[in-house]
Each structure stands twice: as C-alpha cells, then as structure tokens.
Structure 1
Amino acid sequence: MKQDKFSLARLAMYGGCSKSFISHLLSERRTSCTPELAERLAMALRVPCEVLFEPKSSPTGGATVNRVRKVSA
C-alpha cells in the first residue's frame, strides 16, 4: 500500500468495502473475507491474490479466503 500510496479509503473504494474492514484485515482482527473481495483487493494492489490470501472452505460450505501474511499499511 505504501508503494502505490494507497490509503485505507482508496483500497476500500476499490474493494467495495468499508475502511474499517480493511483496517481489521491489516490488524488481523479480521482474518477472512469472500473470494470476490480478495480478488478485488489483490487487483487494486496489483499483486496475485495468493500473495495476500489462501483459499479455505467454511464450515457452512461457502468459500472464504484467509489472510496469508500481513501487508504494510
């Protein structure tokens, strides 16, 4: 995010989510999101989705992704 001068608000806009959701992902208070959101965030940051997230099946049968590593804000 620093490299491309992304703010939380800008990344949230690209992702279609709230600034607080991005903040929670970065601080690891939130560890998963939908695959669609993960793709939008990765595309906005111009990195492969696998750099940020790993696929996971949820207990309810829906798809989610887990954070792989912390990304500097």
Structure 2
Amino acid sequence: MKLRDRGLLVQYMDAGDFSQARLARYAGVSRQFINQLIHGDRLTCTPSVGEHIEEALRVLPGTLFVDSKSHAVQPVVARRKSKGAA
C-alpha cells in the first residue's frame, strides 16, 4: 500500500492524539517505521499495516493508503513492425 499524503497522516494522528509509538503498537510495527512514513523515508507498507493504521485513526479504508498495484507499470503490448521498418 502506498501512503497518499504524509501531512494527512500527521493531521489524523494529531486529531486522534496518537503518538508514533501508540500508532506503531496498534499497527504492529516499530515506532521507527511510523517515523519513516511521516518523514517520507518510507512510502509503502503491507496492506495489513495500512488497514491497521486507518482503523486506528478511524478513517475510511483508502483515505490514507492506496493499493500500490494500481500504479503498476502497464503490461507491454507487442506491436507489429510495419512492412517498411527495419
């Protein structure tokens, strides 16, 4: 899962009175992991961690994290060479 907006994560943490350590405990990750999300050193997490963070902060699923597969590279489609191409 890819974090949509670091600032939004911080705003929801502040609104819910969540410290990095408290959110980390709820999500089952380290405080350093949450710190990395907040500071942009880490942009992704597993779907489970993303769901737990959104659940802890009481936001709708998909508010903070988006499925990173949705931004995956599109499949390569082979093209026929034109008759005049080398």
TM-score, structure 2 normalization: 0.63
Determine the C-alpha separation between the residues in 1 that align with 2:22 and 2:45. 18
Structure 1: which 5+ runs fail to align?
60-73
Determine the C-alpha separation between the residues in 2 that align with 1:48 and 1:28. 22
Map 1:40-51; keep pairs closer than 5 Å. 40-51=52-63
TM-score, structure 1 normalization: 0.74
Larger radius of gyration: 2
**Percent identical residues:** 41
Structure 2: which 5+ runs fail to align?
1-12, 73-86
The partner residue of 1:17 within 16, 25, 29 is 29
Q: Which runs of 4+ in 1 moved over 6 A?
A: none
Determine the C-alpha separation between the residues in 2 that align with 1:45 and 1:16. 14
- Report 1 or 2 for greater relative contact order, CA contacts < 8 Å, sequence distance ≥ 6: 2
CA RMSD of aligned residues (A): 1.2
User: What code does the residue aligned with 1:38 have?
Assistant: G
